[in-house]
Every structure is written in structure tokens, then in C-alpha cells.
Structure 1
Amino acid sequence: MVLTFLAVLVACAATAGIAAGSISVPAEQVWSILLHRVHPAFAEPTWTPVRETIVVDVRLPRVLLAGVVGAGLSVAGMALQALVRNPLADPMLLGVSSGASVGAVLVLVLNLTVFGLFTLPVAAFCGALAALVAVYFLARSGGRMTTVRLVLAGVAMAEVLSALASFLIVTSNDPHKTQSALRWMLGGLAGTTWTTVWFPVGAVLIGTAVLLGVCRPLNLLLAGEEAAAALGLDVHRFRGALFTLVALVIGTIVAVSGQIGFVGLIMPHVVRLLVGADHRRALPAAALLGAAFLISADLAARTLMSPEEIPVGILTALVGGPFFLWLMRRKAAR
């Protein structure tokens, strides 16, 4: 019942996200246009070609990307909290987003166009992967990797890379490039096209499918490393493989959306209140809730100060910051 409700919530949020904007489109017309695109016999065209272009080519890819990014961050956050056994863990913990930021800022500041339209996503992805490799080797000592070393290495790497990205922005002589880099670092989905959607869609679907396939080991980790090892789980190898998977998913997401924080922190906690901690139920619920949340946040980001657009990362931080503080105080009280 909860999953059905969350699926309906995603559909409602997506409909509102497609319908709202500078040119409003009625919700029933949105569905008619989409059904007509699926098969012309499903709906009789009574709308103008301009409205169909707005729905299908402008708003639909943006809403789809918002849903995919929200789902990916939520699922990655839930997996990461199980892996490090820390409810305050966030997908940005490993310094991956900061590495992606350095790659993207380099492209924006230096005006690189090596891969055409894909230059910025490729650079951000390479930066995220480089940060992951660096954190992994810094945290690995004596053939083993502990949670404490991983978190410390991730935080240190994130600080260094954030400082490097800020230095590149400050030393840039082009105000337009500086503005573009700053807006990208704050997170946003403006300018989304069908070309940029499919790569994160594939990464999130594959990552979620793999995580659903390892629900039992994730559940074992919730009981503690000793208990998981006693039941036959190679904890260190499993954790290293899952860290790599989560970081690659996050790097792919950040490459197209910029840094959008706190989604992977908030959604897992809300989901556990709804369906419990069993990952077989919690992971699908987290994906649906994260998708609905970020679609709604993106809708608010582009309508609250219309025609100006607020970076969606600012809104998620305004919601997630107080939640994080409340969670920290609650954990300390316990």
C-alpha cells in the first residue's frame, strides 16, 4: 500500500511539474499529449504544436531527470548508511561530488569543448571517479578499510577539492563563466534535454537493480560487522564493491545535475519510518519518495521566483540542514 501511494505521489508530482510554468498546460491535456505520443489512437490532438513541444521536449526530460536524480540519491544514501552503519551518512560523504565539481568547473572556466555537448558531464564523471580512487586508497591500510578511515578520507578530500574548485572560480577573469560555474555547484536541472537524460537513467536503474540483488547482505550489515561475518559475509570485500557502485552512481548524477545535497540523507530516514529497515521494501520506497521529492523541489525552484530560477540545491539544503541538525541532536540524546 505504501509503494502504491508513493507511485501515485510520483505521478502527481510529475504531472504538476510538466503542467506548471510560464505557459500553463492543463493536467488532462498533459496526459493526452503523452498518450498521443505513445500511440495516436489513444488521444485525439486538440492542442497546438507549441504546447506539444513544451510538454514533450522541454518539461518532460527535466521532470524525468529530476525523478531519476532524486531516486538515485535516495537509494545511494540508504545503501551508504547501511555500509557505514551511520544514520548521518550522506551520498556526498565520499568527496565524489567535490571531485565532480572540480572537473565541471575546469570545463566551464577554461571553456573546453573536447567532447562537444558531453564535455562537462564527462569531465565531472572523471573528477568523481578520480576522487573515489583517491579516497579508497587513502582509507585502505594494511589491506583493510575501516569506516572511520573512509569517512575521514572522504571529508578531507571533499574539503581539498572544494577549495580547488573555489580557487578556479575566483581566479577566472570571465564573469559569465564564473556565474555558470557557481550555479552548477549549487545544483540545478535547467537546460535538460533528452540527450543528457539517458546516461543517468541507465546508471540509476543498473545501480538500483544491483542494490536490490544484495538486500540480504545489506540487512546483515545492520546487525553489525561481527554478526554479518559470522553468517558468511566477506564484509570488507562487499563494502569495497558497494562503495565503488554507490560512488559511480553519485558521480554520474552529479555530472548532469550539479551538487544537490541532503536528498540522500533525508529520504532514507522517512522511508524507514514508513516501511521499516528491511532493504527489500525500503529501497523501492526510497527511490519513489526521492523522485517525488526532487520533482516537487525542482517545481518550486522554477516557480517561486518566476521568471528567475532558484538552484534546486539551495532548496534541498534549506530543507535538509534543519533536518540534519534535528537528527544529530536526536542521535546525541539517545
Structure 2
Amino acid sequence: MATDTDTAATRQDQGRVWLDGKLVTLCLGGTLVVVASLLVQVSFGTYSMSIPQAWGAVADPAVWTHPQVLLRFLLGEGLGDAVAGTLGLSTAEVDLPTATNIVWNIRLPRVFVAILVGMALAVSGAIFQAVTRNELASPFILGVSSGAGLAVLLTLVVFSSVSIAIPLGITTFVFDSTAMLPLTAALGGALAFAIVYAIAWKGGTSPVRLVLAGVIVSTVFQSLQTALFTFASDIGVVQQAIAWTTGSLTGVEWEQVRLALPGTFVAVVLSLALARQLNVLLLGESTARSLGMPVERMRFGLSAVAILAAAASIAVAGIVSFVGLIVPHVVRNIVGSDYRKLVVGCLFVGPALMCAADVGARLFFELAFNQPQQLHVGIVTGLIGGPYFLYLMRKQQTMGEL
């Protein structure tokens, strides 16, 4: 009996080996950055309020003690009330103070979208790096971002008036072009990656060919994105398209949170569940096959997860560069290449980078020049990612295959 107990304890300890001090410290640091960014974001804006008033609005009991309010934020007014009614909760309107309304309806959604986008892009980049065994791989470099961005721009510029009505019983659900953005982004990203893989395939693939094919596809798709601007006669549509191609969180609301949440959640859960398979892929194709893994099917399945994550991000924030490339590098340098650690670390470092970059994008002109303009967050991540990528190139003698 004692032997069985000792064996069970040993197995439990082996299962916890991946959770070490470095990973815990990394997760705590990422959480602190996100919380600090949240407090900064809610404290500044067009509507003037004191910092204690803004922070108090975040913890306002009028929100936290009324579940129907939170359900309306997360699910939308109609579905939120329906769920509240099903659970036997009150569906009565709650009169929120002005400061609470502004913080919860305008400022907090931006932080939540930044968190989801950071998670999605970091996980997507980490998966692509394992699938291709190439540390230079990311949704941006492999053409997935450009393909998804082109699909989104086509929806906004060419098919903005298209809507689909689905009758369900006595109710008809109408899906407009905005509601279909996650699906169109996923289809565009999948098509782009399929083209990259087809170009790179020559009796197999190699890290160099995949990167070169990704650069080719990205260049072509970015040219097509630029060409689409000529079809947009409305200056508002042009500005919206520019925001999509550079990555922006300006003006996001709870609707964008609801758009990004399902895809990000599914991709995160699957990436955590498939961490062991990602580790096996890093051993090489011959080793993975000798261990009984169907390599090609697993590679395409994992690629689908990465595309889903990238599409969830692009559908709400546009093409945010470098996050999917540098976050896995940062985490790998700290906790190692074990994907059980790497994926968890990405879930904290990705949001930390996005939230911090968005604080800089939103407040730079206001604090430096007292001007209300805002930078697009994709510009800030590019300014961060470019020098870091150069640092990696200078630091490492060889870059490419993992």
C-alpha cells in the first residue's frame, strides 16, 4: 500500500515539473503589467474624472452585485437577458453612475480586447513556430495575417452591405458583414497559409522555404489590400481600412470583446490540451512518426488552431505586427522550449505586451504634446518588435530551424 502511494506521489510530482519558479514569476509579472495598464487606461479620457473615481468605477458594486449587468456586457443585451432569465436572475435595468458607465462601456472594453488579442497572437505564433520548427514563424511572416486582413478588407469595402437572414422558429437572426468578420478572417488566413504551404512544399518543407513563401504571399496580399483602397469612395471606410491594415484598438466596444472571445477561448484551450503534441513535433518528423504521431494530420490540425487564434485577433484589431513573433521568443528564453510552459507563459506575456503598447499608443500624444490624437497600436508593436528582432539576429549566430 505504501509503495502504491509513493508511486502515485512520484507521478504527481512528475506532472508538476513543468510548473517552476520562472514560469510563476513570468505569469505574475505579466499580470501586474496588465493590471497597471488597466488602471492607467481607465484613468484617462475625454470625460474628466479623478483617479480614485475612475478606479472606484471599476469596482462599483452596482455592476458586481447585479449579474444581469455583467451578462449584458459579455453576451449582449438580448442574449444576456435571456441567459439571466433562464438562470432565474433579475432582468431589471440598473441605473449606473456616469463614471461607471464611461469606464465600463468605453474604457474597459479596450483593455479586454487587448488581453484577448495578446493571448491569441502569442499562442498563434508559438504554434506556428512548432509546426514549422522555425523560430522565425508567426502569423505575420507566414502570410496568415495578410490573408485574414485581405478577407476583412474585402468584407468592409466590397461586401459591407451584405447581410444573411436565418429564420429560426418565430425569430429571424440577421448577420451583417461585421458579425461575419471572424469567419471571413479565418477563411482568409487559412487560404493564405495553404498557399504558403503549397509554395514551400518540395517533397517536404524547410524553415527557409516556409519563411520565403510567407514573405511572397504577404507581399502579394498586402499589395491587394492597398489596391482595395481605390474602390472605397467613402473617406470613413478608407480610414477604417487603414486602421485594419496597421492594427488599432481605437473605438473598440463590448461587441469586439464578444467577437474575439469565442475563437480565442477555443484556441487557448486546444493549445493547452495539445502542448505535448507540440513538443513531439519539435523532435522532428522521423522521431514523431516513430512515436506513432500522424505528423501531417497533426500539423494541419495545429495550424488550424493557430489560424483560428490569429483570425480572432484580426477580426477585432486588424493586423498587429510582431506580437506573434517576439512573445514566444521572450517566453522561450525565460522558461525554455517545453510547450506546457511556453503556452502558459504566452497567455500572460502576450496580453502584457498588447496592454502596455496600447497605453503608449493611446496616451503618447496626449502626454507629450497635449493633443487628443492616438497612434495605432500596430505602430507601437512594430517599433518594439523591429529592434527586438534585430537584437535576436545580432545575438544569435544562426536563426531559423528550432
The interval holding the TM-score normalised by the smaller chain is 0.7 to 0.9
Contact conserved, 1:135 with 1:150, CA < 8 A, in 2? no
Give the equivalent residue in structure 1 for 2:369: none
Q: Pick closer, same or farther for the CA change 1:24–1:89 going to 2, 3 Å.
A: farther
The TM-score, its normalising length taken from structure 2, stands at 0.74
Distance 1:82 1:138 in 2: 16
Letter in 1 for 2:191: V
Question: Which has more radius of gyration?
Answer: 2
Q: Displacement of 1:146 after TM fit?
A: 2.7
SS at 2:252's partner residue? coil
Equivalence map 1:30-69=2 (5 Å):
30-31=55-56, 33-36=58-61, 37-39=63-65, 49-69=97-117
Cα pair distance change 1:300/1:121, threshold 3 Å:
farther
Question: Counterpart in 1 of 2:380?
Answer: 315
Matches within 5 A, 1:212-227: 212-227=272-287
Cross-structure match for 1:163:
223
2:59 is paired with a residue whose SS is helix
User: Bigger shift: 256-265 or 322-331?
Assistant: 322-331
2:8 corresponds to which residue? Answer: none
**Aligned pair in 2 of structure 1 residues 118, 61: CA closer, same or farther (>3 Å)?**
farther
Map 1:39-188; keep pairs closer than 5 Å. 39=65, 49-110=97-158, 112-115=160-163, 118-120=176-178, 122-123=180-181, 125-133=183-191, 135-136=193-194, 139-140=197-198, 146-148=205-207, 150-188=210-248
Structure 1 gaps of 5+ residues are 41-47
Greater shift, 138-147 or 96-105, is seen at: 138-147
- Contact 1:135-1:153 at 8 Å conserved across structures: no
1:52 is matched by which residue type in structure 2?
A: T
**Partners of 2:54 and 2:103 within 8 A in 1:** no
Offset at residue 210 of structure 1 (A): 0.6
Q: Match for 2:197: what amino acid?
A: A
Deviation at 1:258, TM superposition (A): 0.5
- Taking the aligned partners of 2:182 and 2:260, their CA distance within structure 1 comes to 13
| Bigger mean CA offset, 169-178 vs 288-297 | 169-178
After superposing the two structures, state which structure 1 stretch, 270-279 or 146-155, moved more: 146-155
Q: Secondary structure at the match of 2:141?
A: helix
Match in the other structure for 1:247: 307
C-alpha root-mean-square deviation of aligned residues, in Å? 2.8
Aligned to 1:259: 319
Give the structure 2 partner of residue 44 of structure 1: none
Q: Within 2, Cα distance between the matches of 1:138 and 1:271?
A: 26
Residue type at the aligned position of 2:302: L
Supply the AA of the counterpart residue of 2:28. Answer: T
CA distance in 1, matches of 2:300, 2:159: 36
Q: TM-score, normalised by structure 1?
A: 0.87
User: In the alignment, which of 17, 28, 42 is matched to residue 4 of structure 1?
Assistant: 28
Question: Which one is further off, 145-154 or 189-198?
Answer: 145-154
How far does the alpha carbon of each residue in 1:144-187 deviate from its partner, in whole angstroms, 9 at most, with x for none? 76345554443333222211111111454444432321122111
Quick one: distance in 2 between partners of 1:329 and 1:21?
A: 40
Cα deviation, residue 309, structure 1: 0.8
- Residues 127 and 118 of structure 1: is their aligned pair in 2 closer, same or farther, counting only changes over 3 Å? same
Could you report, residue by residue, the CA deviation over 1:93-127 in whole angstroms, capped at 9, with x for unpaired residues?
Answer: 33222222223323443472324885246246425
Query: Are 1:101 and 1:124, in contact at CA under 8 Å, matched by a contact in 2?
Result: no
Q: What runs of 5+ residues in structure 2 fail to find an aligned partner?
A: 1-23, 67-95, 164-173, 367-371
Supply the distance in 1 between the matched residues of 2:50 and 2:159 (Cα, whole angstroms): 37
Correspondence 1:286 to 2:346: yes
Q: Tell me, yes or no, if the aligned pair for 2:327 and 2:350 is still in contact at 8 Å.
A: yes
Match status 1:330 vs 2:395: yes
CA drift of 1:31 comes to 4.9
Judging changes above 3 Å, is the alpha-carbon distance between structure 1 residues 237 and 311 closer, same or farther for their aligned structure 2 residues? Answer: same
**Range with bigger deviation, 287-296 or 222-231:** 222-231
1:195 to 255, 261, 283: 255
- 1:263-278 correspondence runs (5 A): 263-278=323-338
Q: Hey, what's the Cα distance between the residues in 1 that align with 2:45 and 2:211?
A: 41
Distance 1:283 1:27 in 2: 36
